[in-house]
A and B are shown apart, each in its own frame.
Chain A
Amino acid sequence: MTELGSQSAADRPAVPAEREPVAVLEGITREYRMGDEIVRALDSFSFSFAKGDYWSIMGSSGSGKSTLLNILGCIDRPSDGSYRIRGRDVVTMDDDALSTFRGKELGFVFQSYNLIPQLDVIENILVPVMYQEVVPEGIEERAQALAERVGLGGRLHHRPMQLSGGQQQRVAIARSLINDPALILADEATGNLDSKTASEILELFDELHAEGKTILLVTHEPDVGERSEKVLQLKDGNIESVYDNRSGAAS
């Protein structure tokens, strides 16, 4: 671990040396083919997210933040570059290994909640466990505890249709936590919610951050960005600026 740390220390901007890196991207390039043209959504992007970080990833549309999120979430593969999560190289994994890895190490929170309609609250929270080869002991109790943690203890057997948007998003957050992942990726998590509910969800993120979870929040809303610890501003497939909300220092 120390060897890895010292190796990549020089490439890591804005990360204090004492904090363990969770997700390390080096020279990530992602190109799409649009007809005859090749569009470069990410251009030699290098960054390191440390354990316990709470980042907002911002940028206008076309800045590459969706592409970055897909690559961070291991549902898309870079055209070039290397990407490690908890020291494991995810670029070279085959589809099956990557699928299992996603379920284990990544928690997703989507803009439109993306719960599975035919499953109830507790079953939805357990979906990432269903696809794991090893199922931890007492996972159902854990799912129940998480449901209570996000304030849905009384609605364990409700279907998504019977829940409000905010409640659905809470289920999604509980689902993202079930396997205790390395990274929680939230894509416009408050985009479909009214400001009061959005604020409640962001409070939940604050609490998770306080518990030491690593959270990456993709958003285009400055209000949301301000709530996070740090802001990563993207433009044209690379970093435009990095801003620390606590110190107010940009770099």
Chain B
Amino acid sequence: MRGSAFLRAFRLGISSLLLHKLRSFLTTLGVLFGVASVIAMLAVGEGASAEAQDQIRRLGSRNVILRSVEPPQTGDENAEMRVLSYGLTRDDFDRIEATFPAVGRAVPVLQTPAEVRQGEDVCRPRVLCTPWTYQDVTRRDLFAGRFLTEIDEETRALVCVLGYEVARFLFPFESSIGQRVKVGEHYLEVVGVLGSRLPTGSIATDPSSEAGGEVFLPLSTGRAFFGERQTEIRSGSMDVQEVQLHEIIVEAERDIDVELVAAACREMLRREHDDKDYEVIVPLELLARAAETKRIFNIVLGSIAGISLLVGGIGIMNVMLATVTERTREIGIRRALGAKRKHIVTQFLVETMVLSGAGGLLGVGIGLLIPWIVERTAQLETIVTPAAPILALGISVLVGVVFGLYPAWRAATMDPVEALRHE
């Protein structure tokens, strides 16, 4: 019988709480919502951060991406036709490839605003002129056929590789391999399809969209056909830009060289360019920044969780203090019948823990339900780490102990004579 003392206290706690079902339930709400929000927010945050990190990693953690950026407009806004010349140059590329230490491969990318058509279907994907190394450096998966080759580059072959979304748009019912498409004014043979860059299950399939629509052709072919002037007709006026290279993807030889390469690129570009007509993207740095963002997010989350559990705990303490007052007589009876102070402390502490523990359990249930609903309704990825419910439940019981101690102590230190006289 003695061995089951805790069990008996537990059972007694439950039956005491069941005497006031509504009150007990309302009391647990604070902890319930605290715990549920912790788990739900953690799951959503974890999911978002995992997705962000995944996207960054897709850029290649060993790469440094240099990109041409149109500098802020100056002067002759009204000119009907203007040639805006800016961005990365072939010289930049040569310097990087020839002189930089620790650089593995460097891939130049020229982009042209050509339309891509097949029969009646027209789309405007990003048309990227780039050598054969592109796929390897960016770690893109091949969906079908082959990617561009060194021979394509040398022979200015009339071939292209479609992005998955473009292929699906232009050839929805058949294989695109061996088919011809018109890029700008030129017919090219499709030799391969690259896998989608978007996470699987994603719904964005617009072939014109930044991430989805891509067509690749050999750099030499692209230069010969389109040159380095990109002409776009926008609402009647011609917009001519001259950009030698739109992107240079620089791959560091080893992971630890990424920062070195990034620093060298930045320094070189700063020296060679008068305007800030470029940007340097380092996925590794983005990754670090994403981790930092996640850390801050976790701190914010932790504070919110802490506050809500604190509020829940105060609610429980408040009710327990009222309960102790209400049950003063019972405490007196128990003391008269042989209960030591520690027995009374245990009784009320167990009762508080049952309250907060029940709140915690319900909170875990709801907290697990919310990510499930979010995933289905908002198309957001959520990740529930196993530690989250365990931690939340543990904290809720701890809240019970901390906020139960004072009411329990009040109960235990009552004078039995006074307690018995209490009406």
A residues with CB within 8 A of B: 70, 73, 75-76, 95-96, 99-100, 102-104, 106, 108, 110, 114, 116-119, 127-133, 135, 139, 175
Contact = CB atoms under 8 A, between A and B. Distances in A.
Nearest to A77: B417
B104 interface: no
Nearest to A187: B420
Interface stretch (B11-19, B214-222, B262-270): B11-19
B307 interface: no
Contacts of A103: 337-339
Given A118-B12, A118-B15, A131-B343, A99 B417 contact: no
Contacts of A118: 12, 15-16, 18-19
B9 to A, nearest CB: 9
Given A114-B329, A118-B12, A130-B8, A102 B420 contact: no
Contact of A102 (B12, B329, B330, B337): B337
B416 interface: yes
B338 A75 contact: no
A157 to B, nearest CB: 13
Contacts, number: 69
Nearest to A99: B340
Return the 3 tightest CB-CB contacts between A and B, nearest first.
Answer: A103-B338, A131-B338, A75-B416
A114 B333 contact: yes
A75 B336 contact: yes
A75 B337 contact: no
Given A76-B417, A96-B341, A118-B15, A135 B2 contact: yes
Nearest to B329: A114
Given A76-B417, A114-B329, A135 B340 contact: no
B417 A75 contact: yes
Nearest to A123: B12
Interface in B114-160: none
Given A75-B416, A116-B330, A135-B1, A108 B340 contact: no
B334 interface: yes
Contact of B336 (A96, A104, A108): A108
A73 B336 contact: yes
Interface of B: 1-2, 8, 12, 15-16, 18-19, 329-330, 333-343, 416-417, 420
A103 B12 CA distance: 19
Given A110-B333, A118-B12, 18 more contacts: A75-B335, A75-B417, A95-B341, A99-B335, A99-B338, A102-B335, A102-B336, A103-B338, A104-B338, A114-B420, A116-B334, A118-B16, A127-B334, A128-B337, A128-B338, A129-B1, A135-B1, A175-B337
B334 A96 contact: no
A104 B336 CA distance: 11
A64 to B, nearest CB: 14
Contacts of B343: 99, 131
A49 B419 CA distance: 27
Given A75-B420, A110-B420, A102 B338 contact: yes
Nearest to B423: A112
Contacts of B329: 114
A119 B339 CA distance: 16
27 contacts: A75-B416, A76-B416, A95-B340, A96-B342, A99-B335, A99-B338, A99-B339, A102-B335, A102-B336, A102-B337, A104-B338, A110-B420, A114-B333, A116-B333, A118-B15, A118-B16, A118-B18, A118-B19, A119-B15, A127-B333, A127-B334, A129-B1, A130-B8, A131-B334, A131-B337, A131-B339, A175-B337
A107 to B, nearest CB: 9
A137 to B, nearest CB: 10
Greatest chain A CB density within 10 A among B15, B333, B336 is at B336
A44 B85 CA distance: 113
Contacts of B330: 116-117
Greatest chain B CB density within 10 A among A100, A116, A135 is at A116
A148 B197 CA distance: 82
A111 B246 CA distance: 95
Contacts of A116: 330, 333-334
Greatest chain A CB density within 10 A among B8, B19, B329, B417 is at B417
Contacts of B2: 133, 135
Contacts of A175: 337
Contacts of A106: 336
Contact of B19 (A73, A117, A128, A129): A117
A104 B340 CA distance: 12
A90 to B, nearest CB: 13
A179 to B, nearest CB: 8
A91 to B, nearest CB: 16
Contacts of A70: 417
Contacts of B15: 118-119
Nearest to B9: A130
A4 B12 CA distance: 44
A242 B2 CA distance: 45
Contacts of A128: 337-338
Nearest to A71: B417
Contacts of A132: 338
A129 B337 CA distance: 9
B145 to A, nearest CB: 77
A175 B336 CA distance: 12
A93 to B, nearest CB: 12
A78 to B, nearest CB: 13
Contacts of B416: 75-76
A99 B414 CA distance: 13
